Amino acid sequence: MMQVAFETLGCRLNEAESEAWARHFQSAGGTVVPIHQADLVIVNTCAVTTEAARKSRQLIRRMKRQNPAAKVVVSGCYATLHPGQAARELGVDLVVLNQDKERLVTLAQSLLEDTGRTAPPLDNPAPFKRTRQRAFIKVQDGCRHRCTFCIVTVARGEERSRPIETIVDDVRDLHAQGYNEIVLTGVHLGGYGSDLGCSLVELLRALLEETEIPRIRLGSLEPWELSEAFFELFQNPRLMPHLHLPLQSGSDVVLKRMGRRCRREDFLKLVKTARRYAPDINLTTDIIVGFPGESEEDFLQTKHIIEAIGFSHVHIFPYSPRESTPAANFPGQIPAETKKNRSHQLHVLAAALKQSALQQQIGKTAEVLWEGAKGESAASFYGYTRHYFKARISAPGNLDLSNTISRVRATAVDPSGTFLLCEPAE
């Protein structure tokens, strides 16, 4: 029996791929185990920033130290951009490029067979042990756009979408296995179907009409190619009212230099449309600080639009040059100290906005999908509201709320400032 361990860095698309591999291995008779018990370790790497690439190398080395006897297979963006380095310097046994990820299980199986270990033949997918209450589903890969800072388009290639009927079947299977929420992921999720003659709107309509899974959530969406018909779908309560829309900068000058297809005014119109159809929709975003040529005025415009929109969470990335991207050679590279200072200012603003968003939930009722529990006599269950606010509730030790959806009332914000304290709603 194959004993397989997984380590994943980076985006939700990587998580979706790792979960799909786990299902595939388990349907073949394998078992997902901790690192030290594994015959085979799969590492799904990231390279979106220089720091992510460094962490990927560090993770691979740690896996080798923790289990020297295991075969190590690496895939993902770092492995695709630096296959030779992964193989020679880090000593991995197999590198699977992004374009070959669909074959990873078969390739890894062959690797075990070459060592004389037995690996059962692959069969049709079967139910497997859940490791979480929501499932990430990869619906598309690659991107036809070329933002000047982005290495992911180099690593992932052109857009490739999975057929609607295949995704519908996957969701039905996952719901039958007990999942109550799915998260659709892709490199350019909003461009879903560009290669198939369909659209994200058509995919969502099919999932809402042809499946019964209670909650459908969307991963990160670039803020373009989102029609009014897309926002109309949020009137269906099964489509979760949360969108992560990467703004990257609030300055049109910087956005143009980034090669972004959405300007400041376009983004504001998009937010207005979203709130017209879902007035309480929760919006989160990504911001790159210190992009080449970013002036103080450009930075202030970014601060102002973040505050004006009122994002509940902001992922802040100090710009790091990525080899093979145009921006790496742009003039006007920003000093590290300036990037650090601007990043700090945005972190302070983002923390205040998050506190404001959480405080606004106090006294309101919400439906929460409960996940893990901590504690003994009074277990603390954690989960997420439909709007993707993290919540906690205390329950008697013999009551298991895992993977259930219940209505609660938010009573306070935890002292850590990261989640809502809740009680059962009457």
Please check whether residues 30 and 162 belong to one and the same domain: no
Beta bridge partners of 283: 243
Residue that finishes a domain, picked among 114, 146, 165: 114
Same domain, 183 and 52: no
Which of the four pLDDT bands, split at 50, 70 and 90, describes residue 375?
low
Instruction: Please name which of 240, 275, 183, 231 lies closest in space to residue 368, comparing C-alpha atoms.
Output: 240
CATH code where residue 96 lies: 3.40.50.12160
Residue 164 domain-assigned (yes or no): yes
Overall average pLDDT of the 88-105 stretch: 89
Task: Name 7's bridge partners.
Answer: 43
* Residue 199 and residue 101 share a domain: no
User: Which of 291, 245, 233, 297 lies closest to 269, judged by CA?
Assistant: 245
Is residue 166 scored above 70 in pLDDT? yes
53 and 177 inside one domain? no
The percent helix, strand, coil of the chain (3-state, each to 5) is 40, 25, 40
The dihedral built from the CA positions of residue 308, 314, 320 and 325, taken in this order, carries a sign that is negative
Q: Are 226 and 233 in contact (CB under 8 A)?
A: no
Query: Which band of pLDDT confidence, cut at 50, 70 and 90, is reported for residue 373?
Result: confident
User: Do residue 150 and residue 105 come from a single domain?
Assistant: no
Judge whether residue 228 has pLDDT over 50.
Answer: yes
119-134 pLDDT tens trace: 433 333 333 344 467 8
Q: Report yes or no on 268 lying in a domain.
A: yes
Let me know whether 346 and 282 are in one domain. yes
Quick check: helix, strand or coil at residue 182?
strand
One domain, residues 337 and 396: no
The verdict on 333 and 411 lying in the same domain is no
Q: Contact, 49 vs 320, CB < 8 A? A: yes
DSSP E strand boundaries for 170-261: 181-185, 215-218, 242-244
Whether residue 126 is contained in a domain is answered as: no
Q: Are 391 and 366 in contact (CB under 8 A)?
A: yes
The parent domain of residue 378 ranges over 365-424
Tell me: pLDDT of 103 over 60.
Answer: yes
3 state DSSP class of 166: helix
Are 39 and 2 in contact by the 8 Å Cβ rule? The answer is yes
Q: What pLDDT was estimated at residue 91?
A: 83
Q: Is residue 196's pLDDT more than 80?
A: yes
d(CA 27, CA 125): 5
Query: For residue 303, is it within any domain?
Result: yes
Q: Is the pLDDT of residue 116 over 80?
A: no
Domain finish residue from 357, 385, 405: 357
Co-location of 182 and 144 in the same domain: yes
Q: What is the pLDDT of residue 122?
A: 36
Is 378 within 8 Å of 393 (Cβ atoms)? no
Whether 305 contacts 247, CB under 8 Å: yes
Residues 183 and 327 in one domain: yes
- Whether 127 maps to a domain, the answer reads no
Q: Say what the pLDDT of residue 126 is.
A: 32
Does residue 170 surpass a pLDDT of 70?
yes
Place of tokens 């006294």: 363
Q: Indicate whether 349 and 395 sit together in one domain.
A: no
CA–CA separation, 211 vs 196, rounded Å?
A: 21
The pLDDT, as a whole number, for residue 270 is 97
Query: Is 50 exceeded by the pLDDT of residue 71?
Result: yes
In 310-362, which ranges are continuous DSSP H helix?
336-359
- Cβ atoms 290, 318 nearer than 8 A: yes
Q: 302 and 391 share a domain?
A: no
Q: What per-residue string of b and e applies to 24-62 under the rule 16 or more CB within 10 Å gives b?
A: bbbbbebbbbeeeebbbbbbbbbbbbeebbebbbebbee
Measuring CA to CA, which residue among 385, 377, 388, 380 is closest to residue 408? Answer: 385
CA 5, distance to chain mean position in Å, is: 20
Residue 119 located in a structural domain: no
Residue 243 counted as domain residue: yes
- Which among 336, 357, 378 is the end of a domain? 357
Q: Answer whether residue 129 is part of any domain.
A: no
Q: Give the model's confidence band at 312: pLDDT under 50 very low, under 70 low, under 90 confident, else very high.
A: very high
> How much is the CA Rg of the chain, to the nearest whole Å?
22
At 376 the pLDDT is 52
- Contact at 8 Å (CB) between 275 and 243? no
Q: What is the count of structural domains for the chain? A: 3
- Report the CATH number that the domain containing residue 223 is assigned in CATH: 3.80.30.20
Q: Residue 118 — very low, low, confident or very high, per pLDDT cuts 50/70/90?
A: very low
